[in-house]
Amino acid sequence: MVGAQRLASLDVMRGFAVVGMIIVNWAATVANHHVSVVPWPLLHAEWTGLTPADLVFPAFVVLMGVSLGLNYDASVKQPFRRVLVRSSRLFAVGLVLSNLYWLRDPDPDTFRILGVLQRLALVYLATALLIRHSSSRFQIVMIATLLVGYWAALLAPLPSGVPRDITVPGANFVSWFDRVTLSGHIYVPGPSGYDPEGVLSTFPAVACV
């Protein structure tokens, strides 16, 4: 959106991303209940690899970046309060949706802190501030720093002494960090648990936006 006008191509791409999200969520539900065989392109890769379903979330964050870039290029500077309120609302909605089952059967060990909408909220807040208060050169440096830093974190040794293996779920420093900082509130619990929307993995999403 630029001023009061809508950019049709951006809205169309948002529509495709939403349709993709609905289809992928439906496919996951069907697969979980073993109703029928779901084609592999509609399911996320279990750990390693890439499927079309894995491109839905990156599409959302890229479109968010395009929207922010257009707004700020047009000098439509959103007040910090509006950015904070918008991200807070999105985080709150995500917190509720991530814990619908918990609301029916409250258990402190199953309450999830982060999720897809929560990540979008955090990424929006961080990126809006970066775009507003930094130069393009600094943003390029930040992108490189975030991506290289995340790569280094994945290859870092685990403090617990467990062998690191990025091809094995949970056997990396990023997952270990989530298990410590989110203690008991991650998507896949346990000593080898991990969270696909964890703390450190949020940083490359900021770079993507």
**Residues that are catalytic:** 44
CA-based max dimension of the chain? 56
Please, where are the H alpha helices in the chain?
8-32, 56-73, 80-97, 100-104, 116-133, 136-155, 173-181, 202-208
Q: What is the rounded CA–CA span in Å between residue 60 and residue 65?
A: 9
Q: What is the rounded CA–CA span in Å between residue 110 and residue 83?
A: 30
> Contact 65/127 with Cβ under 8 angstroms?
yes
DSSP 182: S
DSSP result, 56-71: HHHHHHHHHHHHHHHH
Measuring CA to CA, which residue among 209, 182, 91, 137 is closest to residue 198? 182
For 162-192, b/e burial (b = at least 16 CB within 10 A) is eeeeeeeebbbbbbbbbbeebeebbbebeee
> Contact 206/123 with Cβ under 8 angstroms?
yes
